[in-house]
Amino acid sequence: MQVEPIAHTRNALGKQHALTAHLLDVAELASGFAQNLGAADAASYLGLCHDLGKFHPDFQRYLANCEANPAQRGHGPDHKAAGAGFAARSTGVAALLVQGHHGGLRTPGQFKQWLEGGLSPEALEQVLALARASGLLPALEAKGRLDPPPFAQSDARSAEFFLRLLFSALVDADYLDTERHFTPEHSAGRGHDFGMQELWVKFKRNQERLLASSTGRVNELRRVVYEDCLAAAEEGPGLFRLTVPTGGGKTRSAMAFALRHASLHGQERVVVAIPFISITEQTADVYRGIFEGEGLTGSPIVLEHHSGVADAFSRSDDEDATAGQDQHSAAIWRRLASENWDAPVIVTTTVQLFESLFASRPARTRKLHRLARSVIILDEAQSLPPHLLAPCLDALRELCQNYGTTVILCTATQPAFEEVAEFRELLAREIVSNPQKLFQRLRRVEYDWRVGEPLDWVQVAGLMADEPQALAVLNTKKDALTLLEHLNEPTAVHLSTLLCGAHRRAVLAEVRCRLLRSEPCTLVATQVVEAGVDLDFPLVLRAVGPLDAIIQAAGRCNREGRRERGRVIVFDPQEGSLPPGAYKTGAGITRALFGDGPLDLNAPDAPREYFRRLFQTVETDREGIQRLRQALDFPEVSRRFRFIDDDQESVVVTSYGDAQERRRVRERLEVLRRGSPESRFLLRALQPYTVSVRSRVAARYHQHGFIAPVQPGLGEWLGAYDPVRGLSTDEPSSLVI
């Protein structure tokens, strides 16, 4: 009696996973995922091919040995070469997706070399004979050549992008079917209960109730923005701009557009990408509150996915013992949905979105096919790093032009992306009917430019002392600490990346509380308070920097329009410093524009000339990503595509928080030191207590005994942690920049 070949060993129920069933099921899933890519047949074909090599007797013996000797499991014989070699006959270069479905994408040259040095023709024919006996091969052999859609044949980068999304569909299908075999309880916990139309109806009801109860000039203008969003949502998918001044209700109105637009045009999810984790958390809380307030029950709706999110697997035992079943189920859903973004509303970071788009490893890329026929809200769009702007914009263009995706560029400072070649021919439609009028009606601050004569720190401290509530935004952590030293204010607080995330959230909560109670509040900060952080000061001082950063800082002044005008003092610090690269270039362009004449930063077109000059000055593809993409060099693209220029080491602060927090942080660190299969989840749980330090500075800290190694790239902070300044040592302050 012939034994049926298997794809995977026995699960907890003692059942083996039949190979033919696995291939057919992966093919079906991949085909469904690739419908939105125009590649259902190609995905089905690759799904049938991906594990063909498991028919080989050597692999079946390996699986049998794994079942007989579980402790001796290891890497088995290659099972990818047979399917990749067979797929190459019909799909050409797309066959490298079969090779990469476990280890990651390689270059065509590496794939060819690997294929030639791998399975012999005789071994391939043996595999095909066994597949034919299973009844599987005739369906494969009946297919002719499977070419990509026309748009992926006319341009090398379009072909590269298509292969990325097709790879995502294949990998996700394989992961899901394997999970369905080994952990059916996880498979059952996936998915969601809500469509875009239902979410839109609930959102609309909540928004109308809010508008009915809101009064005042600012809220009237927020209503105008909301109504403009509903009108524009009826237009077809593509690229849109939402140009709204800070405090204009952008967070809610953008979601209103997205849900209404998706429900009208058959799009399947909303992805909100935000530059900073702190704003991500704030935004996700707003959306959760809306949907939960409307009584939606069943699976969760909003997936918050970034490095600072912990889940059920990173809880301590005592937390598990007290957590309710609903809470535990929601945490499991978050972990599962974060793997492939199978959720109706996703709130993530800009880094997570784009670094996934240009990754090469299966785990990072399996969610990408979900972006087709979605609505992407790119919040604070001006924050995209200039040195990666060309590939970022090219990816957005591909999604809009070829995959039925709608992209919304949301910001008060719309960048002149049309100056970059990759975006030049893509028409962006403005959602707000009259941005100029809106900005004038929402004019809440007056700018006081003091750029002619630099101010020393004593003078800056004096300006802050004149107002009970004042915010100063500096360009570097060193400058922030220096100003803090010159303030004769014992209750002054500080915000920068010298503070761990949990500490920053606590400071923001304290600042909001003081402002709300009209208590004295002096805050010294870096750019971490810009772009979306909800603060409302009567006076903001901003060191000269990039023009968009100045406008963003002004958004923390008179945000709610409670005063006739707030004051924004733009000053030149006498001993100030600037981060290198595009930031320093941007500051220089701002000075040049100021020298050309008065700047009206309350006008929506004010940033256009700034961005035009910036994009003409900096290299928008400094890493050569576009050239590498044309050559299909997936590994090198993944290696070079990094939002943060400098190499950094994360250090975990164990001396922040109450006794219980500190105990949990130390316990999790100890588990990491010993090695744990759940290290990924432990790292997420520790994220709120980490501070990033430049590698060259971290090296000095190691020498001085301030950092104890935990894992490569991760250490425990043994130095002092100041309740105001955060990470601190007896070393010169220049070491902590």
Residue 4 has pLDDT above 80, yes or no: yes
Which residue, among 359, 334, 364, has the nearest Cα to 346 in the 3D structure? 334
- What confidence score (pLDDT) does residue 144 get? 61
Q: Write the DSSP assignment of 689-719 as a string of letters.
A: GEEEEEHHHHHHHHHTT-EEEEETTEEEE-S
Residue 733 has pLDDT above 50, yes or no: no
Average pLDDT, the chain: 87
Residue 71 has pLDDT above 70, yes or no: yes
* Cα–Cα distance measured from residue 329 to residue 339, given in angstroms and rounded to the nearest whole number: 16
Residue 333 has pLDDT above 90, yes or no: no
- What confidence score (pLDDT) does residue 498 get? 92
Average pLDDT over residues 40-52: 94
- The verdict on domain 196-314+345-437 having CATH code 3.40.50.300 is yes
What digits encode the pLDDT tens for the residues 408-427? Answer: 999 888 898 988 988 988 88
Lowest mean pLDDT among 83-97, 106-120, 439-453, 715-729: 439-453
- What confidence score (pLDDT) does residue 299 get? 65
Average pLDDT over residues 482-505: 90
Lowest mean pLDDT among 365-374, 595-604, 651-660: 595-604
- What confidence score (pLDDT) does residue 280 get? 81
What is the layout of strands, in order, in the sheet containing 406-411?
302-305, 345-349, 270-274, 375-379, 406-411, 239-243, 428-430
Phi/psi region, residue 125 (left: phi>0; alpha: psi -120 to 50; beta: rest), is alpha
What digits encode the pLDDT tens for the residues 185-238? Answer: 887 777 777 899 999 999 999 998 888 877 777 788 888 999 999 999 999 999
* Cα–Cα distance measured from residue 604 to residue 439, given in angstroms and rounded to the nearest whole number: 7
Decide which of 530 and 550 is more confident: 550
Which residue, among 37, 337, 352, 336, has the nearest Cα to 164 in the 3D structure? 37
CA distances to 414, 445, 604, 606 from 600, in Å: 15, 11, 9, 7
* Cα–Cα distance measured from residue 31 to residue 48, given in angstroms and rounded to the nearest whole number: 10
State which of 133-142, 262-271, 291-300 shows the largest mean pLDDT.
262-271
* Cα–Cα distance measured from residue 266 to residue 258, given in angstroms and rounded to the nearest whole number: 11
- What confidence score (pLDDT) does residue 146 get? 78
- What confidence score (pLDDT) does residue 52 get? 93
Q: If pLDDT is split at 50, 70 and 90, which confidence band does 318 have?
A: very low
State which of 318-327, 526-535, 553-562 shows the largest mean pLDDT.
553-562
Decide which of 462 and 735 is more confident: 462
Average pLDDT over residues 720-733: 78
- What confidence score (pLDDT) does residue 200 get? 95
- What confidence score (pLDDT) does residue 257 get? 97
Average pLDDT over residues 700-715: 89
Residue 617 identity:
T
CA distances to 181, 561, 568 from 537, in Å: 56, 11, 10
Residue 312 has pLDDT above 50, yes or no: no
CA dihedral 331, 337, 338, 341 (to 10 degrees): -150
Average pLDDT over residues 287-315: 67
Lowest mean pLDDT among 258-272, 300-314, 353-367: 300-314
Q: For Cα atoms 262, 158, 83, give the angle at the middle one, nearest 5 degrees.
A: 100
Longest dimension (CA), the chain: 92
Average pLDDT over residues 665-691: 83
The residue behind tokens 């588990």 is: 671
What digits encode the pLDDT tens for the residues 140-189? Answer: 776 666 788 999 998 999 999 999 999 999 999 999 999 999 988 887 77
Average pLDDT over residues 576-605: 85
* Cα–Cα distance measured from residue 501 to residue 503, given in angstroms and rounded to the nearest whole number: 5
Contact 537, 469 (CB under 8 A): yes
* Cα–Cα distance measured from residue 650 to residue 288, given in angstroms and rounded to the nearest whole number: 30
Please, which residues have CB within 8 angstroms of residue 241's CB and are 6 or more apart in sequence? 408, 409, 414, 428, 429, 430, 431
Please tell me what DSSP assigns to residue 416: -
- What confidence score (pLDDT) does residue 726 get? 92
Strand partners, 557: 537
Sign of CA dihedral 665, 670, 672, 673: positive
Average pLDDT over residues 20-38: 95
What digits encode the pLDDT tens for the residues 425-478? Answer: 888 999 999 888 888 887 888 899 988 789 999 999 999 998 999 999 999 999
* Cα–Cα distance measured from residue 101 to residue 149, given in angstroms and rounded to the nearest whole number: 22
Q: If pLDDT is split at 50, 70 and 90, which confidence band does 316 have?
A: very low
Residue 633 has pLDDT above 90, yes or no: yes
- The verdict on domain 444-601 having CATH code 3.40.50.300 is yes
Residue 684 has pLDDT above 60, yes or no: yes
Contact 150, 159 (CB under 8 A): no
Decide which of 333 and 119 is more confident: 119
**Residue 637 tokens, joined:** 């693209």
- Grouping H, G, I as helix, E, B as strand and the rest as coil, residue 414 is coil
Average pLDDT over residues 703-716: 89
- What confidence score (pLDDT) does residue 731 get? 54
Identify the H or E element spanning 447: strand 445-455
Strand partners, 728: 720
Contact 538, 469 (CB under 8 A): yes
Residue 530 identity:
E
- What confidence score (pLDDT) does residue 59 get? 92
**3-class DSSP string for 505-568:** HHHHHHHHHHHHCCCCEEEEECHHHCCCCCCCECEEEEECCCHHHHHHHHCCECCCCCCCCEEE
Please tell me what DSSP assigns to residue 654: S
Residue 304 has pLDDT above 60, yes or no: yes
Percent of the chain with pLDDT over 90: 52
Average pLDDT over residues 586-601: 84
Give the distance from CA 368 to its chain's centroid: 12
* Cα–Cα distance measured from residue 241 to residue 159, given in angstroms and rounded to the nearest whole number: 27
Contact 329, 193 (CB under 8 A): no
Q: For Cα atoms 377, 406, 439, give the angle at the middle one, nearest 5 degrees.
A: 55
Residue 128 has pLDDT above 60, yes or no: yes
Residue 278 has pLDDT above 80, yes or no: no
Please tell me what DSSP assigns to residue 17: E
Contact 350, 306 (CB under 8 A): no
Average pLDDT over residues 382-411: 95
Domain with CATH 3.40.50.300 in the chain: 196-314+345-437, 444-601
Q: If pLDDT is split at 50, 70 and 90, which confidence band does 313 have?
A: very low
- What confidence score (pLDDT) does residue 413 get? 84
Contact 162, 146 (CB under 8 A): no
Residue 319 has pLDDT above 60, yes or no: no
Average pLDDT over residues 52-80: 87
Burial of 342 (0-12, 13-18, 19+ CB in 10 A): buried
